[in-house]
A and B are shown apart, each in its own frame.
Chain A
Amino acid sequence: MKKDETTIEKKSDVSTFEPKIVAFLCNWCSYAGADLAGVSRFQYPPNIRVIKVPCSGRINPLYIIKALYSGVDGVLVSGCHPGDCHYISGNFYARRKFALLKKFLSYIGIEQERVQFSWVSAAEGARFAQIIEKVVGEIKRLGPLTYFCKD
C-alpha cells in the first residue's frame, strides 16, 4: 500500500520530480572534471550519483541496463575526449558500443535521453556542470522511468 502511494506521488508531481541519475565517470578525465567543477564552485543539480570507473571503455552495456532495471531514471557515461584516453584507445571502443546501445534502446522504445554519453576532460569543470544541467533537465521533463525497473 505504501509503495503504491509513493508511485502515484511520483507520477502526479512532475514539477517537483527529482530524478535519480547514475553517472559513470572515467577516472582520468571526467571524474577529475567533476572534481574541478566542485572545487571551482560551479552549481549543478544534485541528482547524479557518481560511480568512478577506470575508463569509459570499462563500461559494459550490461551496467547501463542494470542501472535502469534497478530503478534509476537515467544514466550518463562520460569519458576522456577522443584521442585523450589514458589507455590510448579505450574511449574509441566505447564510442562504438555506445552508438549501438543508444540506437538499440531507443529502437525498442526507451526514450533516447535516458541514456547519454559525453566527453569531459579534466580541465572542463564548467562543461561538466553544463552537461549535468542539460541531462537532469531532459530527464526531469521525461518524468520517472516506470516501465522497465523492477517493481
Chain B
Amino acid sequence: MKPSEHEIINTVKKLLADKKIDLFIGYEQGTLPLRTSPCFLVNPDDSNKLIWNSFCANNLTVYLSRIMPNGKNKKFKRIGILCKGCDSRSLTGLIREKQIKREDLYIIGISCQGIIDSRKLLPQLNSDEILSIDEDDDSIIVKLKSGEERFKRNHYLYDACLNCAYPTPGEYDMLVRTAKYAPQVSVPDPAVKEFMGKPREERWRIFEHELSKCIRCYACRNVCPNCYCKECFAEQTKPTWFGVTSERSDLLFYHLTRIFHQAGRCVDCGACVRACPMNINLRLFTRMLVDEVKERFGYEPGLSIKEQSVLAAFEIDDKQEFMTEPEKGT
C-alpha cells in the first residue's frame, strides 16, 4: 500500500469512528482493470476499501448536491470527501453558489499527478489480460500475461490534465501530498487556439459533426457538479424549449445551452468528456469559455470561496467593444 493510501485510510477511519463525519466519499477498485468506482463509506471498518491511484478519475463532488439537496440531509449531517485539484475547484464553486456549506464538509485534498485516460492506454495493451497495475513518479507499470510493460505517464493523461495549472486543491481540511508539486501557470488551451484559427464554416462543420454524434443520454449533464438544477431546461415542459428528438437542431440546442450554462463556472475537470459514451470532444467548447473568461475578466472559477462568480458581478467599465453602434455619418 502506498503511503498516500495509508494516510487516507487512517484519517477516514478515525473521522468515521469519532463521528466527525457521517459519510465519506472516496474511490475503490472498480470491477474492470484501469477503472475505479466511487465508494460511499459509513462504517469505519470498511475504510480499507479506499484506494488512491492514477485512475481515480471521477469528480466526486457531483454527489454532494444529490446527497444534500437544499444543502441538508437528516442522516448525513457532515460529509467527508476526497478531492483532487479539479474536484476542489468544483467544490469551491458549489460552496460559492450556496449549494452546500463549507462547515458541513471535511475535505481531504490530494495533490494529483494527472489521471490516466484508459481510452488512450487500453489500445496499447493489445487486449492482453491485465494482471496488476503499479505506478511510480513518471510511469505506469502494467503486468500483462505476456510480461511487464512500462508506459510514460505523461503520454496517457486526460486532455484536461495535460494543461492543468492547479493539481493541488486550494480548499481542504487535510492535504495528502503525493507528488512534488510544481505550480504551473494556466495558459490558453492549444486546441482552442487552433480551432479559433479555422474559418467560420469549418468551425460550424466541426461543431455540428461532433455534436451530431450525441445520443442524448444526458451523461455530460448528470456527471457535472455544476448541473444541480432541480429541473433542467432540457426536461422542462412548460415551456418546452426544444424537441425531444435526436434531430440535428435539437441536439445542437441542447449542447449549445448546456455548454453556455458553464460560462464562468466550468473548472475544466473533464468529467463530461469522460462520461460521454460517444466520445464527443465537449472540452473543445467548454474550455473556450474558461479561456475567454480568464482573458476578458481575469477570472478563474473555483480558486477561492470568497470571490464572486464572474456572471454574478460586474465592473462599471467592463469592455463593451462588441456592442452595435450606428454607422457614422448616418
Min CB distance B330 to A, Å, is: 5
The reply to whether B314 and A99 contact each other, CB–CB distance below 8 Å, is no
Interface hit among A3-11, A46-54, A88-96: A88-96
Q: What's the tally of chain B residues with a CB closer than 8 Å to chain A? A: 50
- Residues of chain B within 8 A of A110, CB atoms compared: 204
Quick check: B233 and A62 within 8 Å, CB to CB? yes
Residue from A102, A110, A135 having most chain B Cβ neighbours under 10 A: A110
Asked if A69 and B242 make an inter-chain contact with CB atoms under 8 angstroms apart, the answer reads: yes
In the complex, residue of chain A having the shortest beta-carbon distance to the beta carbon of B330: A130
In the docked arrangement, what's the CA distance between A32 and B33, Å?
65
Q: Does A119 contact B (CB under 8 A)?
A: yes
When the two chains form their complex, are residues A109 and B204 in contact, meaning their CB atoms are under 8 A apart? yes
Number of interface residues of A (CB under 8 A): 42
Find chain B residues with CB under 8 A from A82 CB: 316, 320
B311 touches A117 (CB 8 A): no
Q: How far is the CA of A119 from the CA of B241 in the complex (A)?
A: 28
Q: A83-B316, A95-B314, A130-B326 are in contact. Are A148 and B241 (CB under 8 A)?
A: no
Chain A facing B: main interface SS: helix
Which residue of chain B has its CB nearest to the CB of A83?
Answer: B316
Q: Would you call A108 and B318 a contact (CB within 8 A)?
A: no
A89-132: which residues lie under 8 A (CB-CB) from chain B?
A: 89, 92-93, 95-104, 106-111, 116-119, 127, 130-131
Q: Does A13 contact B (CB under 8 A)?
A: no
- The reply to whether the CB of B138 lies closer than 8 angstroms to some CB of chain A is no
9-residue interface stretch from B46-54, B157-165, B217-225, B247-255: B247-255
State whether B203 touches A108 (Cβ < 8 A). yes
Q: Is A66 an interface residue (CB 8 A)?
A: yes
The answer on a CB contact under 8 Å between A100 and B292 is yes
B130 on the A face (CB < 8 A): no
Which of the candidate stretches B97-105, B144-152, B257-265 sits at the interface with the other chain?
Answer: B257-265
Determine whether A36 belongs to the interface, using a CB cutoff of 8 Å to chain B: no
Known A-B contacts A93-B314, A109-B200; A131 and B326 likewise in contact (beta carbons under 8 Å): yes
Q: Does B310 contact A (CB under 8 A)?
A: yes
With A100-B296, A104-B289 given, name 17 new contacts (CB 8 A).
A61-B257, A61-B260, A65-B260, A69-B249, A92-B318, A100-B260, A103-B292, A103-B322, A109-B200, A109-B203, A118-B323, A118-B324, A119-B323, A130-B327, A130-B330, A147-B204, A150-B249
Chain A residues with a Cβ under 8 A of chain B: 61-62, 65-66, 69, 76, 82-83, 89, 92-93, 95-104, 106-111, 116-119, 127, 130-131, 133-135, 147-151
Residues of B within 8 A of A (CB): 195-196, 200-208, 233, 241-243, 247, 249-250, 252-253, 256-257, 259-260, 263-264, 285, 288-289, 292-293, 296-297, 310-316, 318-320, 322-327, 330
- For the complex of A and B, the 5 pairs showing the least CB-CB separation, nearest first, are A109-B204, A130-B326, A109-B203, A92-B314, A118-B324
